[in-house]
Amino acid sequence: MRGVVGLDGTSRSGSVGARRQDSTADVLGPRAGLLLSTVLALLLGALSVLVMLPAAQHLRSFHDGLRAQATLRTNGPCMTGGCRVAFEVDGRTVESSLPVGSGGRLGPVGTRLVIRYRADDPQLVAREEDVHGGGAAVLAAVSGGSALLFGALSAYMLVHLGRQRRKRRSAP
């Protein structure tokens, strides 16, 4: 083993041709890391507050809705509103989409499930298992917690960068 001098004039120990492994912080720089963590905190916070909390509240509004047996018509990503169900109300068949924030996949097309709907508008439905907030409540908590974590990381990085700047200015 012998030392290698890089193009920048620094010596590194190791074998000839050894490469220095750059960390993400070295490549992006501290300001880019601060910007990235701040943007993630804001996006996750917006997802939680503007999308998932209202979706969970919408699902909770079906708590006193009328119950019905429904059949799954289309099976897609239920969390994004991609599942459709059909059920009978007053002798007519109603087909409706499950709202955003519903639980995960329900099974194959034709699966029977219990839903709740509003008497004044049977087009608005929710799975009975989701009337306590469903997957939207869980995702709101997870994205909100992640937003707080990235916000705290941003604050820490901001303080750390400020201290480094003060040290550089006070150094002779």
Q: Summarize the confidence of residues 123-143 as an average pLDDT.
A: 89
pLDDT of res. 88: 94
Q: CB neighbours (10 Å) of residue 67?
A: 11
- Return the amino acid letter for 13: S
Q: Summarize the confidence of residues 150-168 as an average pLDDT.
A: 92
pLDDT of res. 38: 95
Query: CB–CB of 88/68 below 8 Å?
Result: yes
Query: Of 130, 122, 120, 149, nearest to 41 (Cα)?
Result: 149
pLDDT of res. 136: 87
pLDDT of res. 1: 47
pLDDT of res. 6: 54
Higher pLDDT, residue 134 or 23: 134
Pick the most confident of 6-15, 25-34, 90-99. Answer: 90-99
Strand bridging mode 4-5 / 112-118? unpaired
Rounded to whole angstroms, how far apart are CA atoms 126 and 103? 10
Percent above pLDDT 70 for the chain: 81
pLDDT of res. 20: 53
Mean pLDDT of the chain: 84
Out of 18-32, 40-54, 150-164, least confident range: 18-32
pLDDT of res. 4: 54
Question: Is pLDDT of 11 > 70?
Answer: no
pLDDT tens-digit readout, 27-78:
567 888 899 999 999 999 999 999 999 999 999 999 899 999 999 998 878 8
pLDDT tens-digit readout, 135-148:
888 889 999 999 99
**DSSP codes joined into one string, the chain:** ---EE-TTS-EE-SSTT------HHHHH-HHHHHHHHHHHHHHHHHIIIIIIHHHHHHHHTTTTSEEEEEEEEE-S-GGGT--EEEEEETTEEEEEEPPTT--S---STT-EEEEEEETTEEEEEEEGGGTT-HHHHHHHHHHHHHHHHHHHHHHHHHHHHHHHHHHHHH--
Which tokens hold the place of 140?
């709101």
